[in-house]
Amino acid sequence: MPWAESWCRQARIPRLHQTRHHRLVPIPTMLFSKLVAAAALASTAFAQSSTKKLKWFGINESGAEFGEKNFTGVYGREYIWYDLKTIDQFLAQGVNHFRINFLMERLTPNSLTAAHDKYYLGNLTEQVNYITSKGAYAMIQPHNYGRFLGNIITDTAGFKTWWQNLAAVYKSNNLVVFDTNNEYHDMDQQLVFNLNQAAIDGVRAAGATSQYITPEGNSWSGAWTWVSSGNGASLVNLKDPQNKLIYQMHQYLDVDGSGSHAECVSATIFSERLVAATKWLKDNKKQGVIGEFAGGVNDQCVAALQDGLKYLADNNDVWWGAMWWAAGPWWGDYMYSMEPTSGPAWSGILPKIKGYFV
Ligand SMILES: *[C@@H]1O[C@H](CO)[C@@H](O)[C@H](O)[C@H]1NC(C)=O
Ligand SMILES: *[C@@H]1O[C@H](CO)[C@@H](O)[C@H](O)[C@H]1NC(C)=O
Ligand SMILES: CC(=O)N[C@H]1CO[C@H](CO)[C@@H](O)[C@@H]1O
């Protein structure tokens, strides 16, 4: 069965190397007075702030990037798109943001500047339109780790063109969010900066001016290493004329932060791994989102997830939300699967975390 080989082969293996982290953008003025009021409250007392919520409750939809070493692949054999009925099931649970995984090579075969494959783009657009027609956000997420056809992308001009061409398709849809790339890693830091800046420039050059963009960092975009890896010092200098950057970081709760174990290190490991990144966001007046997080279905992980989500919500002046890893039709009994309704996390995690979101 395709799912079995797919999940061990791709989604997880890259993570084994290590960690992730990420962040975001400016606070809408509307919210500003609320935030000031909240900050005042928080400083007068360490009172309970458990009523604070996160505005983005996200799910990673994974499958269209499966078989990722087979750059072409065939729909239904190497990869799959997402069942639109499951989108409705997530919406009913309060999920309002879908991070859509796909492969760059299937969209523009052989070259960053090639024309779009009509069918792959057709499927991506069908997903995006369905999600946004329901009022939810659709995150366009090339699941490429800063690579194209297996090689680190060094052609920043070509990367800008790739983004300009794709953003043009969605430029009038305000509910689309652009994720520059999934989990850059083992790359020159300046190149990671340059690729993020090229993506931002390409999106804006396409006339997509109202959408949020989420840069990701090197080192698998880990939150816990956002500062120590050098991502913070480098990516703080990204420029967006629209001032709508939301830095995207990833955070897993297992021993090596790879998202490959069911066990969580402790009941407070999630919040602990967010402290340095939260300070970076606040110090630099940036905004962030946790674009991937997960833990196994067990009491310690549930406690850690709740503690971390409360921490994020308590700091919702800088954190927009968090996106569970993952859903998709081919995950089978994968320990983190939140696919309705058979995924272990659908019944074991979702009911226990949804209260932290708006
Ligand atoms: C890639 O996918 C195609 C289409 O399913 C298949 O025929 C081919 O054997 C695959 N190649 C590899 C190397 O897996
Ligand atoms: C999705 O991809 C399949 C396989 O290439 C294709 O037959 C179908 O027409 C595509 N759907 C859309 C909406 O483009
Ligand atoms: C934010 C998030 O969860 N991203 C994940 C989405 O799915 C891919 C796998 O297909 C992961 O590698 C990403 O980390």
What is the spatial distance between Cα 18 and Cα 160, in angstroms, rounded to a whole number? 28
Percent of the chain scoring above 70 in pLDDT: 86
pLDDT for 358: 87
Ligand nearest to the CA of 77: 1
Which ligand 1 atom is at minimum distance from the Cα of 78? 5
Residue carrying the six token digits 């056809």: 149
Give the residue whose CA is nearest to atom 3 of ligand 1.
73
Q: What residue type is assigned to position 101 of the chain?
A: N
Residue 339 annotated among the catalytic residues of the structure = no
pLDDT tens-digit map of 225-283: 999 999 999 999 999 999 999 999 999 999 999 999 999 999 999 999 999 999 999 99
pLDDT tens-digit map of 95-106: 999 999 999 999
CATH 3.20.20.80 matches 2-356: yes
pLDDT for 50: 57
Give the residue whose CA is nearest to atom 8 of ligand 1.
73
What is the spatial distance between Cα 246 and Cα 56, in angstroms, rounded to a whole number? 12
Q: Is the preceding omega at residue 38 within 30 degrees of 0, hence cis?
A: no
Average pLDDT over residues 190-194: 98
Go through 90-113 and write b for each residue having 16 or more CB atoms within 10 A of its CB, e for each that does not: beebebbbbbbbbbbbbbbeeebe
- Does residue 223 register a pLDDT over 70? yes
- Cα torsion angle, 331, 337, 340, 341, sign: positive
Q: Give residue 64 CA to ligand 3 midpoint distance, Å.
A: 12
Summary mean pLDDT of the chain = 87
Give the residue whose CA is nearest to atom 7 of ligand 2.
119
- Does residue 205 register a pLDDT over 70? yes
* Residue 189 phi, psi (nearest 5): -65, -40
Mutate to test the pocket of ligand 3, among 21, 60, 104, 214 (most ligand atoms within 8 A of CB): 60
Average pLDDT over residues 40-51: 42
Q: How far is CA 52 from CA 203, 355, 358, in A?
A: 33, 10, 9
What is the spatial distance between Cα 159 and Cα 344, in angstroms, rounded to a whole number? 38
Mutate to test the pocket of ligand 2, among 80, 103, 117, 119 (most ligand atoms within 8 A of CB): 119
Q: Domain boundaries in the chain?
A: 2-356
- Does residue 23 register a pLDDT over 70? no
Ligand 2 site, residue 32, Cβ cutoff 6 A: no
67: left (phi over 0), alpha (psi -120 to 50) or beta: left
Ligand 2 site, residue 188, Cβ cutoff 6 A: no
Ligand nearest to the CA of 128: 2
Q: Which of 61, 105, 183, 216 is catalytic?
A: 183
Under a CB-based contact definition with an 8 Å cutoff, are residues 56 and 38 in contact?
no
Largest CA distance in the chain: 59
pLDDT tens-digit map of 140-174: 999 999 999 999 999 999 999 999 999 999 999 99
pLDDT for 16: 28
Ligand nearest to the CA of 118: 2
- Does residue 18 register a pLDDT over 70? no
Residue 263 annotated among the catalytic residues of the structure = no
Which ligand 2 atom is at minimum distance from the Cα of 76? 4
pLDDT for 59: 83
- pTM beyond 0.75: yes
Under a CB-based contact definition with an 8 Å cutoff, are residues 309 and 267 in contact?
no
SS3 195: helix
E strands along 230-287, which residues? 247-252
